[in-house]
Amino acid sequence: MSTHQTQVVIVGGGPSGLLLSQLLHRKGISSIVLEKHTRAHVLGRIRAGVLEHGFVNLMREAGCGARMDREGEIHEGFHIAHQGQLDRIDLAKHTGGDTVMVYGQTEVTRDLYEARDAMSGVVIHEAQNVQPHALTEARPFVTWEQDGEAQRAECDFIVGADGFHGVSRKSIPSDVLKEYEKVYPFGWLGVLSETPPVSEELIYARHERGFALCSLRSRTLSRYYIQVPLTDRVEDWSDAAFWQELKRRLPDEVAAGLQTGPSIEKSIAPLRSFVAEPMRYGNLFLAGDAAHIVPPTGAKGLNLAASDIYYLYHGFLDHYLKGDSAGLDAYSEKALARVWKAERFSWWMTNLLHRAPEGSETDLRLQRADLDYLFSSDAAQASLAENYVGLPY
Ligand code: FAS
Ligand code: PHB
């Protein structure tokens, strides 16, 4: 068995794990990232598209913001289509100038990998059977297999950034871990197409046939979603059927301008609200999707991972550079306080815009009243805007 020594072992080479590793390395704190898939597999995922300004600043602090600033788009608002009309939420006006950056998670991950390479960061791919050990001991360790060879890394701390299906959360004893979950009775069918976006800004559509979203990755790469029943499978949806249904859920003048084309990626994602508490057990910290999931309606998933990493990064800095562990000791409580606010916002925005399959006429009228109130009240729009651009860290 090969034995490695490091300060922090990070399980998971997605955006959470890579960002933390990069931030720590720039401050002289060593880490090893263990990723079970290949780099190509990780970069093949099409996921988030909207970055809060807090995440944007963190990418810049990590020295990974150059391409994002060059190729990303600053958005000052977005639209909500409902009852055949298009109403705009002016993010900048309601937040004193805060905005969001439209830049795909795939590109974020690519930038993080390139930065890790440039610093010769240790990111181990195809690490099999990763297993955290001795979580409550002073010197925990992680084992895994690499090309059939047993490996071990001894460290001070382990960060579980291994997503919803990872091993880290499951390493916390069941009498310690408490999980909260709400599963929504519908999913999102997403399509990526090499077509010009239908709109300069994002359009969230509430329609009696179901929710739709018009987003983008660039001026030549569009990302669209429609709400589908949980029973639907990707193979049930031809490209033609998708485009037809999307058009039916958009205002006529928007649908008329929609440029369709072949899907280069098509997938169905389930929607759930999920939180695991606590986000620390002994010397194991959970971060990102390993600890929480939100329905993507509020564009919070990736952005919550960023605030977890921000808190952990500063906690490790204080611990290693000042001998002060207060930040690490407060991590779980501090991260969960922001997580739950984002869960609430994502749940609210999902209920505002989706057609509940079992919803009653009363539910529909209440939903319409919520939208009528939203667009009749600056205070309501300011509340939506401050959540959408990202609550303070
Ligand atoms: P990730 O899941 O991205 O990364 C975890 C990594 O750990 C993966 O690379 C995995 O291979 C690895 N791993 C897992 N188990 C392991 C083990 N045992 N050993 C080693 N490695 C292991 N968010 C938005 O804001 N907007 C969206 O539109 C959006 N769409 C999404 C669509 C889908 C289909 C999914 C699944 C998520 C979506 N999200 C969206 C949320 C998503 O962006 C996450 O918030 C983001 O990927 C979180 O990053 P990580 O915490 O790094 O987790
Ligand atoms: C996306 O572009 O993938 C996207 C944008 C906003 C959301 C969800 C997904 O709320």
pLDDT at 253: 96
Same domain, 119 and 141: yes
Could you tell me if 241 and 137 lie in one domain? no
Q: Is residue 7 part of a domain?
A: yes
Q: Does residue 278 have a cis bond before it (omega within 30 degrees)?
A: yes
Expressed in angstroms and rounded, the spacing between residue 163 Cα and the centre of ligand 1 is 5
**Domain residue limits at 195:** 185-271+355-389
pLDDT on residue 388: 98
Task: Give the distance, in angstroms, between the CA of residue 137 and the centroid of all CA atoms in the same chain.
Answer: 31
Closest to 133 in 3D by CA, of 82, 167, 89, 96: 167
Q: How many C-beta atoms surround the C-beta of residue 65 within 10 A? A: 19
198 and 171 part of one domain: no
Please identify which residue in the block is written with the tokens 């579980």: 160
33: in domain: yes
Pocket of ligand 1 contains residue 13 by CB under 6 Å: yes
Please choose, from the candidates 115, 23, 34, the residue with its C-alpha nearest in 3D space to the C-alpha of residue 311.
23
141 and 113 co-located in one domain: yes
| Interacting residues of 210 by C-beta distance below 8 A, sequence separation 6+ | 186, 226, 227, 228, 249, 354, 355
301 CA to centre of ligand 2 in angstroms: 10
Give the model confidence (pLDDT) of 294-321 as tens digits: 999 999 999 999 999 999 999 999 999 9
Q: Active-site residue 300, yes or no?
A: yes
DSSP string, 189-253: EEEEESS--SSSS-EEE--TT--EEEEEEETTEEEEEEEEETT--GGG--HHHHHHHHHHTS-HH
> What was the pLDDT predicted at 1?
85
**pTM for this predicted structure:** 0.97
Q: Is residue 94 part of a domain?
A: no
The answer to the question of residue 381 being in a domain is: yes
Exposed, middle or buried, 73 (CB in 10 Å: 0-12/13-18/19+)?
middle
In this structure, the answer to whether residues 374 and 234 fall within a common structural domain is: yes
Atom in ligand 2 nearest the alpha carbon of residue 215: 2
Give the number of other Cβ atoms within 10 Å of residue 343's Cβ: 23
For residue range 30-53, list pLDDT tens digits in order. 999 999 999 999 999 999 999 999
Is there a catalytic annotation at residue 180? no
pLDDT at 126: 98
DSSP letter assigned to residue 74: E
Q: Say whether 15 is catalytic.
A: no
309 in the same domain as 236: no
In a domain, 330, yes or no: yes
Residues 267 and 281 in one domain: no
Would residue 14 count as lying in a domain? yes
Selected catalytic residue, list 36, 53, 75, 319: 75
Q: How many domains does the chain have?
A: 2
The alpha carbon of residue 317 and the mean position of all alpha carbons in its chain are separated, in whole angstroms, by: 24
* Other beta carbons within 10 Å of 40: 8
Same domain, 60 and 119: yes
- The percent of residues in the chain predicted with pLDDT above 90, rounded, is 99
Same domain assignment for residues 115 and 158: yes
The CATH number for 267's domain is 3.30.9.10
Say yes or no: 151 and 297 in one domain. yes
Over residues 204-248, the pLDDT tens digits come to 999 999 999 999 999 999 999 999 999 999 999 999 999 999 999
Same-domain status, 152 and 300: yes
Catalytic residue selected from 296, 311, 313, 354: 296
Atom 26 of ligand 1, residue of closest alpha carbon: 48
Q: Is 27 an active-site residue?
A: no
Looking at residue 27, which CATH number applies to its domain? 3.50.50.60
Specify whether 75 is catalytic. yes
Q: Which residues of the chain have pLDDT under 50?
A: none
Q: Per-residue pLDDT tens for 92-105?
A: 999 999 999 999 99
CA 114 to ligand 1 center in whole angstroms: 19
Does one domain contain both 362 and 312?
no
Q: To which H or E segment does residue 304 belong?
A: helix 301-317
82 domain-assigned: no
Distance 228 CA to ligand 2 centre (A): 16
214 domain-assigned: yes
